Amino acid sequence: MKLTVNEVERTFDGDKSTPLLWYVRDELGLNGTKYGCGTGLCGACTVHVDGVAVRGCLATVGDAEGAEVRTIEGLHATGDHPVQQAWREQNVPQCGFCQAGQIMQAAALLAANPNPTDQEILRGMDGNICRCGCYQRIVSAVRHASTGA
């Protein structure tokens, strides 16, 4: 089967039930995407499949057949996606472990809704857990990156 990862076409001939997270980390070496809970509850593994934020620990490689997968490494060539810029300006990360997932979730949220209300930001980011409790800065940075900032 074929899929595209960060704009590079890939052929996969392994077990299609392999979690997408293991494929991008172990086979492609894209280890910016993190393993947290493994059960869809933390968001550390968030990647985009056809522009939609999905949990890489639950999605399988087969789910991404023919699709465009994007990981944090492919969000922007120089790390200057508006969400990444806002993250730097707001000094969001603490330990950093959850941050790739947070950024990918925020980027998908803003692609679908470029000017969200605070309630929409809270709802959109609700499934992404931060053990360091950076939530206020996360919301502030998403607001900052939105067209309404």
Residue carrying the six token digits 């869809």: 40
44 binds ligand FES (CB under 6 A): yes
Q: What is the dihedral of CA 97, 41, 88, 27, to 10 degrees?
A: 60
Nearest residue to 124 via CA among 139, 136, 146, 137:
139
149 binds ligand FES (CB under 6 A): no
Q: Which of 24, 64, 107, 130 binds ligand FES (CB under 6 A)?
A: 130
Nearer to ligand FES, 77 or 132 (CB): 132
Provide the angle, in degrees to the nearest 10, between the axes of the packed helices 135-145 and 82-89: 130
Nearer to ligand FES, 36 or 82 (CB): 36
Nearer to ligand FES, 36 or 74 (CB): 36
Residues that bind ligand FES (CB under 6 A): 35-38, 40-45, 55, 57, 93-99, 130-132, 134
